[in-house]
Amino acid sequence: MEVFLPVTAIVISSTLALIFLVLYLKERGSGHENLHIDLKDLDPGGQKNYQLLNEAIKKSQEMLSASESESLKMIANSKTNIQKLEEEHTKELEGYIKQFEESIKNTSAQVSQSINLASSQFNTFLQQLAEKSQQFEAANEQATTVRIEKMLDQLETKLSDFLLESEQKTTGAIDLELQSTRQLIETYKQQQLKLIDENIISMMERTMALVIGKRLTLKDQLDLVYESLEKAKLEKFII
Amino acid sequence: MNQTQEVGYVQSSRDFLVYLDGLPSIKINDLVENEQGLRGWISALLKNQVEVLMVDSGKVTPGQMFKRLPARLSINVGDYLLGRAVNPLGIAIDGKGPLTRSKTTNLMELEQVALGIRSRQFIKEQFTTGVSLIDCLIPLGKGQRELVMGDAHSGKTGFLIDLIVNQSKLNRTSNKPKKTICIYASIGKPAASVRNLIDVLRANKALEYSVVIAASSSEPAPMIFLTPKAAFSVAEFFQRNGHDVLLILDDLGTHAKIYREMSLLGFKSPGRESYPGDIFYQHAHLMERAGSFKAGFGGASITALPVIELDLNDFTTLIPTSLMSMTDGHLLFKSSLRNQGLQPAIDIFLSVSRVGRQTQDRLTNSISARIRSTLTQAEELQTVSSFSAELPIQTQLILRQKRLLDEILKQDPLTYIPKEVQVIMLSLVYTSFLKDKDHSFMEKYKNNLINAFLTNPTFNNITKSFYTFKSDQQLINALEAETAKLNELCPS
Amino acid sequence: MNNLWQKIITNTYTVKTLKNRVRFLRSYLNRAKFDQNPNKEQNLSPEELIWIESLAEEHLLDVDTKSVSPMMDELDEMVEKTEALTVYFPFDPPSEEIDTLGSWMRSNFGKSELIMDIKYDPALIGGCALVWKGLYRDFSVRKKIQDEKQQILDSFRKYAPNS
């Protein structure tokens, strides 16, 4: 492709030059006879131009032929290249595919191997487990029966103890309660008696105040007063 | 058994002041009782007479015999006081029946000498109130004495009730074994307002950990005078058992007036403003009983909030200035701020907390410093803004920030905002989320934002990781990251 | 002065009587010395008159108008200073008995100027209760009952149907 563009550019430019030249020549050719005459008629400058044109025509013709041959070569080359690449690629792909297939085969073989191994192990394990559990069950049964018997014995003894104890405790508690209530009653009784005593005394005082105040003669009163004064004297109340 | 009993006969009596003879070995603060059962306590020992102040009102005539009682001036204290209202002598006044005396009843004398320096410890723990303005800008410490002063109808009592209710909320959510006890001493207030207070506390389920000690204005003056002493004795009982105590004395101005009445009646020489010479002592020796105590003396703390109502045009009168000098700071309430809608109506620039700053964590401290500087700048620019029509952008920003901060610091009564959420809300003002927003936006969405930071899982992580932030800038950056979600939450 | 005082206190045994007598003396002297009309009838009972006249001769002759007031003030002071023994009686003793009691007390307690302040307390039943220098002590029958409470109750119990 990269080669293609400059080649086409060259081709196009050369064909254009050619076309231009042919047209010019045609124009000029109409006066072909005039050409030679023209040449003679031409001034040195014109002659040079004619020479240049001829050279240009030759060069462009050479260039055209060269480019044509080049392009044909390139086309052929590219075709062969493409063919080569295709062949290589297909070869590689086939190689890869083959490898992949092999590896798959290997792994699947390994997996199936390991699965087999595992399942066999598992089976053996299950068998062992079953055996063990059977043994365990048998032993358990024995042990539980023994224990139950023991427990029943213990329960019996404990229950009898408990009953005895609770009996004692309740009787003890009842006794205490009884004692405390008796005490309460006693204290209450004492309090009431005290109250009664005080009431008696105050009643007595009041009655005496009323009665004796009226019944005592002056002499009696005075006697009492002198008695009190004697007492005061004894106690040295008046200092 | 000594069968003699000390007696004294009334020589003269003047209203609640009675002079007795006899009573040879009586001491000050002993109790005496006459035949009708009227009690009084010995307040002074004169040359040939004993001065008695009557706590029960009744007719005392010369010649009556007063017997000396074995008890001294004291109050029965115990856990059964919680949820009850009592008078300064320990008698229940809330109509819920007599106080149930458990076996562990203690008798605390009303007059106690305050514990000395050896027993005190440095105030390290913050007293969380749940009110943004206090917790961030004017923080209180456990064991601090903070004077609550303001003119009438400035919302002081409401604020104090909020404190009690919030403490009860905190008690319910915390798992500390020893809860904070609130004691409210109502000194000479009308009986109806005491009733009202008890009802409000009960309605907000705050009575469970509160004690109310009240002497209404109809009681004899000595009874009213004893109220703060009784309150402190009860507080000391709870403090020695390991509970932190909040003690509110409402109000000490009435207490001072009552003491003035008693002294003038007793012919003590009047001093400045006719107050007796020892009025400062009467308040100071009470305030000294508050504080933060070492473990050997019970641990825990008594935080005292004395209240005084004053005239804002002149608060250089004797009692407010004395109280300001004996407390660790003051909160100034203004009714003008309340009328503008700011609640709590505290003037931030004129209020101070001398001890609170050391109890705040570093993050809150830095945020509050930032806020204070913004507010100060805004104050200065306030006058400028009223003159010029077109303000530079920085000025506008500061003024807008101030309005936003004011809006955030407003808090409805009986609301509780946890400390972390408070600081987060205030930090939002410095993020781009609120950069172009006005205070009306904040008014609309404040509650939504607070709820979001409390419950919404998207924002909750910031609240939960609050204490991991090392500087205020970190917190602000964390909030910046959530700006888009915040905008979604609050479409403008 | 002392003589007058001694004369007064010798047969005055109660606070009330003492104060009354001093008061009479004051008003008598004021009338006698200052009243323009000395013959106007004085409103004193016969006993009081007798008593004052018993004083009059010895001690009041040298009293003139200037010394009346200070003398009376001094007397008042001495009255205030006198220690009174408060006695609670359950009855109301007549005045002669009071005098007897008073003199008995003075001789037995060793206080020659002791005066009684008599009060009435019927709850004492019998005997008396005394208050001296601010100390109250019950010597009455009521106190005895309270002290002997146990014995009394025991004797009652003898009559109880059950125990």
pLDDT in tens, A23-60: 777 766 555 444 455 566 667 888 888 899 999 999 99
Please tell me the number of Cα atoms within 13 Å of C125 on its side-chain side. Answer: 19
Q: Sort B155 into a burial class: Cβ within 10 Å, 0-12 / 13-18 / 19+.
A: buried
Distance, CA of A192 to CA of C94 (rounded, Å): 45
> Is the reported ipTM for this assembly greater than 0.95?
no
Of B238, B101, B119, B246, the C-alpha closest to B178 is: B238
Does A189 touch chain C if contact means CB atoms closer than 8 Å?
no
- CA B59 vs CA B16, B30, C119, C132, C137: distances in Å: 9, 21, 20, 26, 26
Cis peptide bond N-terminal to B251, omega within 30? yes
pTM of the shown model = 0.72
Distance, CA of B111 to CA of B29 (rounded, Å): 8
For residue B300, the model assigns a pLDDT of: 93
Beta bridge partners of residue B14, listed in sequence order: B17
Helix (H) or strand (E) holding B209: none
Of B130, B142, B181, the C-alpha closest to B344 is: B130
Q: Nearest-CA distance from C139 to chain B in Å?
A: 10
Q: Nearest-CA distance from B262 to chain C in Å?
A: 26
Distance, CA of B262 to CA of B15 (rounded, Å): 10
CB distance B143 to B292 below 8 Å:
yes
Cβ pair C134:B7 closer than 8 A: yes
% helix, strand, coil for chain A, step of 5: 95, 0, 5
Of A134, A238, B472, the C-alpha closest to C116 is: A238
CB distance B286 to B113 below 8 Å:
no
* Residue that has been written with the tokens 């601010």 in this structure: C134
How does pLDDT run across B117-165, given as a tens digit for each residue? 999 999 999 999 999 999 999 999 999 999 999 988 899 999 999 999 9
How does pLDDT run across A102-160, given as a tens digit for each residue? 999 999 999 999 999 999 999 999 999 999 999 999 999 999 999 999 999 999 999 99
Q: Which residues of B are known catalytic residues?
A: 354
Does C137 touch chain B if contact means CB atoms closer than 8 Å?
yes
Cβ pair A224:C127 closer than 8 A: yes
Distance, CA of B423 to CA of B433 (rounded, Å): 16
Cβ pair B6:C134 closer than 8 A: yes
Please tell me the number of Cα atoms within 13 Å of B233 on its side-chain side. Answer: 24
Greater confidence, C78 or B284?
A: B284
How does pLDDT run across B433-475, given as a tens digit for each residue? 888 888 888 888 888 888 888 888 888 888 888 888 888 888 8
Q: Nearest-CA distance from B256 to chain C in Å?
A: 34
Does C104 touch chain B if contact means CB atoms closer than 8 Å?
no
Cβ pair A231:C139 closer than 8 A: yes
- Going by pLDDT thresholds of 50, 70 and 90, the confidence category of residue A1 is low
Cβ pair B3:C137 closer than 8 A: yes
For residue B1, the model assigns a pLDDT of: 36
What chains are in contact with B, requiring at least 3 Cβ pairs below 8 Å?
C
Does B7 touch chain C if contact means CB atoms closer than 8 Å?
yes
Distance, CA of B218 to CA of B224 (rounded, Å): 9
* Residue that has been written with the tokens 């856990």 in this structure: B79
Cβ pair A238:C130 closer than 8 A: yes
Contacts of A24 (CB under 8 A, 6+ apart): A53
Q: Nearest-CA distance from A158 to chain C in Å?
A: 52
% of residues, chain C, pLDDT over 70: 87
Interface of C to A at Cβ within 8 Å reads 85, 89-91, 93-94, 97, 101, 104-105, 108-109, 111, 114, 122-123, 125-128, 130, 132-133, 135, 137, 139-142, 145-146, 149, 152-153, 156
Distance, CA of B382 to CA of B379 (rounded, Å): 5
Contacts of B74 (CB under 8 A, 6+ apart): B107, B108, B109, B110, B233
Residues of B in contact with C86 (CB under 8 A): 9
| 3-state DSSP assignment of residue B254 | helix
Residues of C in contact with B7 (CB under 8 A): 131, 134-136
| 3-state DSSP assignment of residue C84 | strand
Residue type, C153: L
B window 10-69, beta carbon within 8 A of C: 21-24, 65, 67
For residue A34, the model assigns a pLDDT of: 47
* Residue that has been written with the tokens 């600081």 in this structure: B423
**Range of A4-8, A33-37, B97-101 with top mean pLDDT:** B97-101
Of B354, B422, B309, B324, the C-alpha closest to B143 is: B354
The first and second tokens of residue B76, run together, are: 């029965």
Beta bridge partners of residue B293, listed in sequence order: B120
Length of chain B: 492
Residues of C in contact with B8 (CB under 8 A): 134
Say how many CB pairs under 8 Å bridge B and C: 29
* Residue that has been written with the tokens 């010369």 in this structure: B62
For residue C42, the model assigns a pLDDT of: 62
Dihedral pair phi/psi, residue B87, rounded to 5°: -95, 170
DSSP state letter for B114? P
The first and second tokens of residue B2, run together, are: 């000594």
Cβ pair A228:C139 closer than 8 A: yes
Mean pLDDT score of chain B, rounded to an integer? 90
Residues of C in contact with A239 (CB under 8 A): 132-133
C window 24-53, beta carbon within 8 A of B: none
Residue type, B110: L
- Closest-CA residue of C relative to A202 is C146
Residue type, B29: N
- Closest-CA residue of B relative to C117 is B63
- Closest-CA residue of C relative to B8 is C134
| 3-state DSSP assignment of residue B182 | strand
Residues of C in contact with A208 (CB under 8 A): 125, 141, 145
Cβ pair A225:C127 closer than 8 A: yes
Residues of C in contact with A237 (CB under 8 A): 130, 132, 135, 137
% of residues, chain B, pLDDT over 90: 63
CB distance B44 to B51 below 8 Å:
yes
Q: Nearest-CA distance from B3 to chain C in Å?
A: 7
Cis peptide bond N-terminal to B418, omega within 30? no
Residues of C in contact with A232 (CB under 8 A): 130, 137, 139
For residue A203, the model assigns a pLDDT of: 86
Of B436, B447, B375, the C-alpha closest to B411 is: B447
Beta bridge partners of residue B32, listed in sequence order: B40, B68
Neighbours of B348 (CB within 10 A): 21
% of residues, chain A, pLDDT over 70: 91
Contacts of B33 (CB under 8 A, 6+ apart): B39, B40, B66, B67, B69
Distance, CA of B129 to CA of A182 (rounded, Å): 55
- The answer to whether residue B347 scores a pLDDT higher than 80 is yes
* Residue that has been written with the tokens 């390139």 in this structure: A74
The first and second tokens of residue A165, run together, are: 């104890």
The average pLDDT across A75-102 equals 93
The first and second tokens of residue A216, run together, are: 């005592």
